[in-house]
Amino acid sequence: MIGKSKLRRILILGSFLLILSVVSAYPGRNVCDECGWIGLPDSRICEGCQHTLNQCLDCMYTNEVKADYCAKCGMPMAEMRVLGSIDPDLRRELRLGESARADLEIQRLQHLMQTDPENTEEYLFDLAMRHRKIKFYSRESQLWLSFLKRYPYSEKIGRVKLYASDSLRKWSYLMYEQKMFAVAADLLNESLLLNPGNDEARRWLSYTSSAMGKAGS
């Protein structure tokens, strides 16, 4: 039997996603949720009831109504506006979802990479680390490879090569499981190029080669 609190959580999440899709399509965000006062695009606080109109719930910065991303920390604001209109207890419950949190962080970094090009190296590194945390190995690998291409003289290059080698190896397991042995072998070869000391990758390359031999391809 499904627990009451679990059911509640699922229902809340369902309505959250529904509200989210409505809010992002709804342009009237200058209207105060509390009293209906109508602000200008650069309003920050409701003049009717002093309620904040577009507050970032991550860093608590009070943004202008027109901001799509927090001007202080870069978090996407559509989600924040929805969270802001939900009861604080429910909000805490929703924020427990690590993957939702990771998704917001990823959107934030992608936004910062475009708006603050001077620090792209750092954002790209963080973005790859985020994908590492959520175990999205194919995307993580691509991000590390793009880092290596863009910043071959970075002081982080040693770490990046180790991480890239590791994520390519883990990505290759997924290909191996799906019996895509040739792809798995390519990924493992790439992994070994980046870190010839990756013994785990070397061992898997030999399994993959023998699997390819048996499959006759």
What does the DSSP 8-state code read for residue 58? T
Q: Nearest CA to 120 among 110, 129, 105, 133?
A: 110
> What is the 8-class DSSP label of residue 196?
T
Q: Which two tokens stand for residue 92?
A: 């805490």
CB of 90 to Zn ion, least distance (A): 20
| Among 43, 61, 62, 139, interactor with Zn ion by CB under 5 A | 61
Site string (31-50) toward Zn ion, x via CB under 5 A:
-x-xx-x--------x-xx-
Beta bridge partners of 26: none
Part in contact with Zn ion (CB under 5 A); list of ranges 62-70, 102-110, 133-141, 162-170: 62-70
Q: Backbone phi, then psi, for 203, in 5-degree steps?
A: -65, -45
**Min dist. Cβ of residue 105 to Zn ion (A):** 12
Binding to Zn ion in span 65-84, by CB under 5 A:
70, 72-73, 75
Instruction: Give 68 or 200: the residue with its C-beta nearer to Zn ion.
Output: 68
Number of residues interacting with Zn ion: please give it, by CB under 5 A.
16
Contact with Zn ion (CB under 5 A) among 29, 30, 39, 56:
56
Q: Applying CB under 5 A, does 157 fall inside the site for Zn ion?
A: no
**Whole-number Å distance between alpha carbons of 16 and 178:** 35
> In this structure, are residues 161 and 195 in contact, taking their beta carbons and an 8 Å threshold?
yes
Task: Name the nearest CA neighbour of 107 among 72, 68, 142, 81.
Answer: 68
Q: Which amino acid is at 91?
A: R
Residue of 29, 74, 65 whose CA lies nearest to 45: 65
Of the two residues 73 and 182, which places its CB atom closer to Zn ion in the complex? Answer: 73
Q: In whole angstroms, how close is the CB of 213 to Zn ion at the nearest point?
A: 55
Find, among 84, 85, 54, 60, the residue nearest to 72 by Cα. Answer: 60
Of the residues 7, 38, 59, 215, which one makes contact with Zn ion according to CB under 5 A: 59
Give the nearest distance from C-beta 39 to Zn ion in angstroms. Answer: 9
**Residue numbers of the site for Zn ion (CB under 5 A)?**
32, 34-35, 37, 46, 48-49, 51, 56, 58-59, 61, 70, 72-73, 75
